[in-house]
Amino acid sequence: MTALARGSAYTALLATCFVGQAAAQSITAVSYGGSYQQASIEAWYEPFAAATGIRVDVEDFNGGLAQIRAQVEVGNVFWDVVDLNASDVTLACDEGLLEYVDPQALPPGPDGTPAEEDFISGTLSDCGVGNVVWSTIYAYDANRFPGVRPETIADFFDIEKFPGRRGMRRVPMANLEFALLADGVPAEDVYAVLDTPEGVSRAFDKLDTIKDEVVWWEAGAQPPQMLADGEVVMSTAYNGRIFNAQMLEGQSFVIVWDGQLLDINQLAIVAGTPRLDEAMRLVSFASTAEALADLGRRISYGPARESAAPLITTHLETGVEMGPHLPTHPSNMARALRRDWSWWVDNQDELNERFSAWLAR
């Protein structure tokens, strides 16, 4: 019994430690790790801590909603602000896992434009505040193509013209879109075609043509690594990761923007956090045009606000002009597709199963 009493004394002591920590004003921000998280820390979290005195503890995760759901269901929320893909925000918002965010509480643009008008359409939702526009592209190592180089999304699927292994993410998302684009479907029709059973089969048939040559990746850090190792000759990837490898590691990677798939990330607040005020302050701080532009000068993800785009000038570390490296730059938008995440939210269960079955065959 004394042991039990001592045990509970320790528990109480531990509990006070944690409570003490909360009272000392610190909040937890969670994002995807790697160079994107590093840029977020430098552009948002550290300046926020300096400006407000609220410390930001940064944790990383691999996307997905399992941890958030577990915290909300158990009623022990220790994540406050999460950087999520727009489709996850929609899903989590519907499931009541995120707090609603009032767009009128967000800071206006530098010239006073209200936030609701300043944010690019579709980047604000009930629970999410858009921060970056990123894209899934494919890239190759220039050293491996001394002659003719791949230029279109169709080239990615052309094994005869460009032999060698390809890296693709092990999910149906993006791959089905790329397959249809490569099969000649115009960007504006891709989701209409995918909405029919024949369209889905058509996409899988196209993927079948390169299946034996594909090395599947899971984490965003893998494609640059596989390209550098020569494990694959080209790979789909997140554009910011390739940019970092180009700028900071001096890799001779080339991004093919043709058929790029644009995507939005949003900051969201976990439902029931005891630090709601601080969390909202962080979201507001990080969604000013200046903060978004600061991030855009560290990693090549476009800002979700119109007014932030002109503020993104040169890369802070190398001084390279950022414009042409952003997915939203006009020269990269010739054949770009915007991910229809509401379509994916509706269809992902079935397509993930079908994709797994297809992979196993």
Partner 1 sequence: MGLVLPLLIFLGVTFLAPLGTMLVRSVYDPVVADALPATLTALREWNGEGLPPEAAYEAAAGEIGAAREARTLGQVASRANRLQSGLRGVFTRTGRDLREVVEGPWRDAMAAIDSAWVDPGTWHAIRAAGERITARHYLNALDMQRLADGSVARQPEERRIYLPLLWRTLLVSLAITVFCLVLGYPIAHLIAHARPRRAGLLLALVLVPFWTSLLVRTTSWIVLLQTQGVVNDLLVAIGLIGDDGRLSMVYNMTGTLVAMTHVLLPFMVLPLYSVMRSIPPLHMRAAASMGATPAQAFRRVYWPQTLPGVGAGSLLVFILAIGYYITPALVGGSSGQLISNMVAYHMQTSLNWGLAAALGALLLVGVLVLYLLYDRLVGVERMSLG
Contact yes or no for 156/181 (Cβ under 8 A):
no
**Contact residues for 87 (Cβ-Cβ < 8 A; gap 6+):** 339, 341, 342, 344, 345, 348
Residue 65 binds to partner 1 (criterion: CB under 8 A): yes
For residue 324, give both structure tokens.
Answer: 């042409």
Least Å distance between CB 211 and partner 1?
9
Residue 95 binds to partner 1 (criterion: CB under 8 A): yes
Least Å distance between CB 352 and partner 1?
6
Instruction: Candidates 34-42, 235-243, 305-313, 339-347: pick the segment binding partner 1 (CB under 8 A).
Output: 339-347
Instruction: Candidates 184-192, 274-282, 318-326, 347-355: pick the segment binding partner 1 (CB under 8 A).
Output: 347-355
Measured between alpha carbons, how far is 61 from 223 in angstroms, rounded to an integer?
18
- Which residue, 226, 250, 224, 251, is CA-closest to 238? 224
Instruction: Candidates 12-20, 139-147, 225-233, 323-331: pick the segment binding partner 1 (CB under 8 A).
Output: 225-233
Residue 24 binds to partner 1 (criterion: CB under 8 A): no
- Cβ proximity to partner 1: between 276 and 320 the closer is 276
122, 216, 274, 314: residue in contact with partner 1 (rule CB under 8 A)? 216
Least Å distance between CB 353 and partner 1?
5
How do beta strands 128-141 and 253-269 pair? antiparallel
Residue 353 binds to partner 1 (criterion: CB under 8 A): yes
Least Å distance between CB 333 and partner 1?
28
Least Å distance between CB 312 and partner 1?
33
41, 54, 82, 91: residue in contact with partner 1 (rule CB under 8 A)? 91
Residue 144 binds to partner 1 (criterion: CB under 8 A): no
Least Å distance between CB 201 and partner 1?
9
For residue 260, which phi and psi values (nearest 5 degrees)? -60, 145
- Which residue, 211, 334, 346, is CA-closest to 262? 334
Residue 61's CB is within 10 A of a number of other CB atoms, namely 17
What separation in angstroms does the CA of 142 have from each of 151, 230, 235, 251? 12, 12, 13, 9
Helices (H) and strands (E) in the chain, counts: 15, 10
Least Å distance between CB 11 and partner 1?
13
Residue 160 binds to partner 1 (criterion: CB under 8 A): no
Instruction: Candidates 10-18, 92-100, 129-137, 182-190: pick the segment binding partner 1 (CB under 8 A).
Output: 92-100
Torsion of CA 136, 219, 352, 356, to 10 degrees: 120
Contact yes or no for 60/29 (Cβ under 8 A):
no
- Cβ proximity to partner 1: between 69 and 329 the closer is 69
Measured on CA atoms in the order 129, 130, 136, 140, is the torsion positive or negative?
negative
Least Å distance between CB 356 and partner 1?
5
170, 249, 274, 333: residue in contact with partner 1 (rule CB under 8 A)? 170
Contact yes or no for 107/232 (Cβ under 8 A):
no
- The label of the residue with tokens 């944690």 reads 18
Residues near partner 1 (CB under 8 A): 3, 62, 64-66, 69, 91, 93-96, 165, 170, 214-216, 218, 229-231, 342, 345-350, 352-354, 356-360
